[in-house]
Structure 1
Amino acid sequence: MKTGAAIAHIAQLARLGLPSRSVVPEMLGALANVVPSHFCMFMWTDAQGRPEDFHLPWIVPEAIEANSRLLAGNDGFGSLIRMGLSAAEACRMPEFQRSPFYNECCLPYGIGHGFDVPIRDGGAMRGMLVATREPKTPLFSRREGDLLRSVAPAFTHALAADHVVRAERFAPHGERAVLTVDAEGDVVEAGEGHEALLKAALDARFGAGFSASAFYAAARDLFRPLVAARQAVTSFDTRHGRITIRLYPAAMPAAGRRGGGAGHMFALIERRHPLALQAAIGVARLELSTREREVARHIVLGHPPQQVMREVGIGAHTLHDYRRRIYRRLAISSREELAARVLAG
C-alpha cells in the first residue's frame, strides 16, 4: 500500500467512531506497510502514562506481564522513560541494553530498538504508538519518525470514540481459532491465534497486575458453565467485536496424542468485526482511488445518497459518476455484488 493511501486509510478508520480496540489493530497494519519495522504496537495508558492495555501482532501473556511490571519498576529503561526520554532516545543509552526490560521484553522477541510517539488528548497522556526493529538494523530515519508522528492525531481521534456509545452491525465473517477444553473448562490445547481471541472474549486488559495464570483462570471461568450445560452456541458483544463460541464433542485421540479425552470439547471461537470496520478494511484492498474507496464504503454500508454526498463532499451527479466508475472498474453491476466483494471473509 502506497504511503498516501495508507495514511488516508488510517484516517478513515479513525473516523469510523468505533471503539479504539476495534480499529487500532488495522491502523497499525496499514502503518507497518509504509514504515518498515519488526512490528508496530499500541499501548493504552492512563493519564499518568502507566500501561493499561497493549495491542501486539501476537500475544505472549508472560511477555506482557513482564512488560507491565518492568515499565512500572525502577530498572534502567523505565527510569529513562520517566526522565522524559523517548524510546528512540532511550534505546541509544548504554543503560538500555543492560536493563532487565531489554533482556526480558526485547531480546527474546528479536527487538533491538524502537521509536515511540506519545498519543495525547489535550494535555493528558492517552496512549503510546511504538515501532520496533531487530538488533543491528538501521535506526528510524527522520522521515520515518515524521511519518509516525503525523498519524498521532488519527490515533487520538480513535481513542476519543471510546467515549461514544453507538449501535454496531457486524460483518458475516471473522477470525477463528480452535481450542480443546476439558470438563472443568481448562484449556488443554489451543490453535494459532487463540490468545488474541481469548483476550477479546474475556474483554481482558493487561495492566500491571496481569498474569498468565489469571488469564487462563478467567478462560476456565468462561468455558466451565458452557461445557457443563453442553451449550452448543453462545454469542456476546465486547469492545473487540461480536464473539461466538461453538462447542463440539472431541473425538478420543489415538494413543499418545493430545486433544481429546473424557468430557473434552472443541471450542471454536469466532470474532466478527463491526460492519463499518470490515467495510473499511475491504475497500482498502480494491484497486480504486482514495475517493472511490470512500464512496464504495458508503455504498456497502447502505447509506442514503444524501449522507454520502454530505460526508464525502460531492454532489448528486458526481456521486452517480463515482458509482458507475466503481462498478465498471470492478466488473460488477450492483450494490450486492460490491458488498460480497468487500466483505468476503
Structure 2
Amino acid sequence: MRPSDAIAHVRHLAFLGLPSEVVIPRMLEALHALIGSRINGFIWSDARGLPTNIYSPVIYMAAREVMVGGYHLMQRPGELAIEDLINGPRVIDNIAPWRDSGRLERTVLYNEVFVPSEAEQMLDLVLRDRDGPKGIVFLTRGAREKSFGLKDRRILLGLAPAFLRALRVGAPTSADPDADEPAEARFLEDGGSESMIVCDLAGEVLEMSADAHVMLDCANHGLIAPGQASTDLPGLPAAVKRALAAGTLTNTPVTVRSIWGHFRFRAFPTAMASGGGLVVLIRQLETLSLRVIDRLRDTPLSPRQREVALLVATGHGPDAVAARLGVSRSTCRDHLENVHARLGVGSRAELVAALVG
C-alpha cells in the first residue's frame, strides 16, 4: 500500500464514529504500515494526564503493569512516569530530553518495561484539546534498529487530528446487549478473530493463548481486579459463568459487550488428565463499518468515493449520505455513480454485497 493510501486509511477509520477503544487498535495497525516499529500502542488519560487505559497488543502484559501502577512502587523521586510524557511541553517526542540526557536508561519504566520488550527506542505523540490531554500514541524500536527520523515524526504529527477525531466522536459502547446501535456499529456474527481458553467444569480458567488473554481482559472491560497482578489469568465474564452453570453455553453462544467491542463465547466439553473440562472459544466480533473500510482499502476509489461507499454499505440513504458529507444530493449521486463504475457493480444492492457479504 502506498503511504498516501495508508494515511487515508487511518483518517477514514477515524471518520467511522465508533468508540475509540474499538477503532484506535485498527488505526495503530495502519500506522504500523506507515512507520515501521517493533511495538506501538495507545494510552488513554484523564484531564490531568494520568493514564486510564492502554492498548498495546505486543507488550500487553508489561504495559498493563504500567497501568496497574506497580512500577511506581519501585520508582525513585523524580523518575520518568507516563504522566510526565503526557504532560510534557511538546506535542511530539516528549521522551527526547530524557533519552538525550541519559536519564531514561536509569529509570524503572525503561528497565522494567522497555528493555524486556526490546523497545529501547520510543517516539511519542501527545493528543490534547482545549479540555486538556486525551492520551498518547507511542511507537518503539529495538536498540539496534534504525532510529526514528524526521519523516516518521512528520507522518505521526500529521495524523494527530485523526486520532483526536477518533477520541471525540466515538460514543462508549453500551453495556446493554439489547440497546440499539447505529448501523455502522453493528457487529457481524461471521467476522473477527477467535482464540481458545481451557477451563475446568466450574468455569475456572486453567490455560489460554496470549491472544485469548488479551481478548478476555478486553471482554472484562480491560480492567484488572483490585489486588490482581496483570500476570494472573483473568476470569470469565459473569454472564459466561452463569451460562456455564446453567449448562447452556455448549448449545447457545453468549455475547458480552465491553468498551472494547463485542465478544462471543461458546464452549465444548473436552477430556483432561484430571477429568472433564471445557474448551471455551472467544471471538472478538467485527463491526460492519470496519469490515467495509478494510475491503475499500485496496480499491481504486478516491477518498471521497470511499466515504460515500462506506455510508451506503452501512445502510445510509441518499439524504443521510449527503447530510453526513455536507454535499448536495446530486453531488452525492454523482459520487455513487463513479463508485459503481470503478467497482464494476450495477446497483446499491450489488455494492453492499461486494463490501459486506
Would the TM-score normalized by the shorter structure come out above 0.5? yes
Q: TM-score range by the shorter chain?
A: 0.7 to 0.9
Contact 1:187/1:220, CA 8 A, preserved across alignment: no
Contact 2:54/2:63, CA 8 A, preserved across alignment: no
Q: 1:159 is matched with which residue?
A: 167
Render the CA deviation track for 1:174-195: whole Å, top value 9, x for unaligned: 2211211112322223235112
Q: 2 CA distance for matches of 1:72 and 1:245?
A: 37
Q: 1 CA distance for matches of 2:24 and 2:73?
A: 24
> Which one of the candidate residues 276, 279, 283 is aligned to 1:263?
276
Render the CA deviation track for 1:136-164: whole Å, top value 9, x for unaligned: 33332223212212222222222223556
Query: Secondary structure of 2:276's match?
Result: coil
Query: 1:121-270 counterparts in 2 under 5 A?
Result: 121-162=129-170, 167=181, 168-172=185-189, 173-205=191-223, 211-212=229-230, 216-219=233-236, 223-232=240-249, 233-250=253-270, 252=271, 262-270=275-283
Q: 2:127 is matched with which residue?
A: 119
Q: 1:41 is matched with which residue?
A: 41
> Which one of the candidate residues 302, 324, 328 is aligned to 2:315?
302
Query: 1:317-328 counterparts in 2 under 5 A?
Result: 317-328=330-341
Letter in 1 for 2:160: A
Q: 2 CA distance for matches of 1:72 and 1:287?
A: 53
Query: Secondary structure of 2:81's match?
Result: helix
Question: What TM-score do you get using the length of structure 1 for normalisation?
Answer: 0.84
> CA 1:175/1:212 → structure 2, altered by over 3 Å: closer, same or farther?
same
> CA 1:325/1:15 → structure 2, altered by over 3 Å: closer, same or farther?
closer
Query: 1:99-114 counterparts in 2 under 5 A?
Result: 99-114=107-122
Task: Work out the percentage of aligned pairs sharing the same amino acid.
Answer: 27
> CA 1:318/1:280 → structure 2, altered by over 3 Å: closer, same or farther?
same
Range moving further from structure 2, 75-84 or 222-231: 75-84
Render the CA deviation track for 1:221-256: whole Å, top value 9, x for unaligned: 565433222222212322222221111111x26xxx
Q: 2:177 is matched with which residue?
A: none
Render the CA deviation track for 1:254-284: whole Å, top value 9, x for unaligned: xxxxxx7533111111122332333223322
Measure how far apart 1:317 and its partner are: 4.7
Measure how far apart 1:34 and its partner are: 1.4
Question: What TM-score do you get using the length of structure 2 for normalisation?
Answer: 0.82
Contact 1:40/1:130, CA 8 A, preserved across alignment: yes
Render the CA deviation track for 1:179-223: whole Å, top value 9, x for unaligned: 11112322223235112221221112369976226x635337565
> Which one of the candidate residues 289, 311, 327 is aligned to 1:276?
289
Moved over 4 A (4+): 162-166, 206-210, 220-223, 313-318
Contact 1:43/1:55, CA 8 A, preserved across alignment: yes
Measure how far apart 1:336 and its partner are: 4.0
Q: 1 CA distance for matches of 2:226 and 2:132?
A: 20
Contact 2:213/2:234, CA 8 A, preserved across alignment: no
> CA 1:108/1:26 → structure 2, altered by over 3 Å: closer, same or farther?
same
> CA 1:126/1:53 → structure 2, altered by over 3 Å: closer, same or farther?
same
Measure how far apart 1:312 and its partner are: 3.2
Measure how far apart 1:25 and its partner are: 0.6
Unaligned runs of 5+ residues in structure 2 are 175-179
Measure how far apart 1:22 and its partner are: 0.7
Measure how far apart 1:56 and its partner are: 0.7
Query: Secondary structure of 1:140's match?
Result: coil
Measure how far apart 1:135 and its partner are: 0.8
Query: Secondary structure of 1:193's match?
Result: helix
Render the CA deviation track for 1:68-126: whole Å, top value 9, x for unaligned: 43368634333993794712332333121232222221112121211111111314122
Render the CA deviation track for 1:32-81: whole Å, top value 9, x for unaligned: 22122222210011222222111113364355215643368634333993
Q: 1 CA distance for matches of 2:110 and 2:117?
A: 10
Q: 1:256 is matched with which residue?
A: none
Unaligned runs of 5+ residues in structure 1 are 254-259
> CA 1:123/1:78 → structure 2, altered by over 3 Å: closer, same or farther?
same
The alignment yields a C-alpha RMSD, in angstroms, of: 3.0
Q: 1:257 is matched with which residue?
A: none
Letter in 2 for 1:211: A
